[in-house]
Amino acid sequence: MAMRIRWSKIAVFALCTAPFAWIVWRAFAQQLGADPVNEITHFTGDWTIRFLLITLAITPVRRLTRQYQLIQFRRMVGLFAFFYGCLHFLTWVVLDKVLALQALGDLHFGSLMQQMGLDIAKRRYITVGMIGLGLMVPLAITSTRGWIRRLGKRWQKLHRLIYFSAIAGVIHYFWLVKADTSLPRLYALIVAGLLGIRIVYWVQQRNRKQRASAPAAGAA
């Protein structure tokens, strides 16, 4: 059993790195089209939101299918959402801001911070994107066994932040698309569905607890 879990973890890891390998290969093969920066930004943004949604889907899917071992992959998939989010952010910093400042001959720490700050303050989709990524930071930091043990019940509460991160990601997408909103709408629907399922589970659990404590209270 332990061996099977180890192999499936290796397989899931390989699957999660496949988009990264694909974009690196395309970059080396010069297959990124006329605007490589734009292509990399969109590609990494797409995979950030996809991995966020997959992470959110793991709990409902494992309950519905009774495949409880799926929990083994949640941390890894969540960390990959953060990984692609960081690549997405770094693409914006390095390939967008750094290269533009370099072309102007004005690249230094202060000018970079200023340009980034201006963009974050001026463009609302960047502001909300930063919030989405920022919310993933404490989740990534506390994803280790040590933090899970140290935080106890608070760990689960903290990790509900992933919903806010996904919501911020969807808003970010809505605000940046110019015409066709079909994909952000689809993602919004998926997040709403996954959140809805969580609420149903939460209500069911609360009712079960109340029912379990009712006879005890009656007996007393």
Which residues of the chain form contacts with ligand HEM (CB under 6 A)? 41-42, 45-46, 48-49, 52, 85, 88-89, 92, 126, 129-130, 132-133, 165, 168-169, 172-173, 176
Contact 95, 110 (CB under 8 A): no
CB atoms within 10 A of CB 32: 16
Work out how close the CB of 98 gets to ligand HEM at its nearest, in angstroms, rounded to a whole number. Answer: 13
In the complex with ligand HEM, the residue whose CB is nearer, 72 or 114, is: 114
Work out how close the CB of 68 gets to ligand HEM at its nearest, in angstroms, rounded to a whole number. Answer: 28
Work out how close the CB of 133 gets to ligand HEM at its nearest, in angstroms, rounded to a whole number. Answer: 4
In the complex with ligand HEM, the residue whose CB is nearer, 14 or 186, is: 186
In the complex with ligand HEM, the residue whose CB is nearer, 70 or 87, is: 87
In the complex with ligand HEM, the residue whose CB is nearer, 74 or 88, is: 88
Distance CA 204, CA 220 (A): 25
Work out how close the CB of 8 gets to ligand HEM at its nearest, in angstroms, rounded to a whole number. Answer: 26
Distance CA 220, CA 218 (A): 5
**Residue keyed to tokens 């200023």:** 114
DSSP 44-104: HHHHHHHHHHHHHHHHHHHHHHT-GGGGGGHHHHHHHHHHHHHHHHHIIIIIIIIHHHHHH
Contact 81, 48 (CB under 8 A): yes
Work out how close the CB of 89 gets to ligand HEM at its nearest, in angstroms, rounded to a whole number. Answer: 4
In the complex with ligand HEM, the residue whose CB is nearer, 88 or 159, is: 88
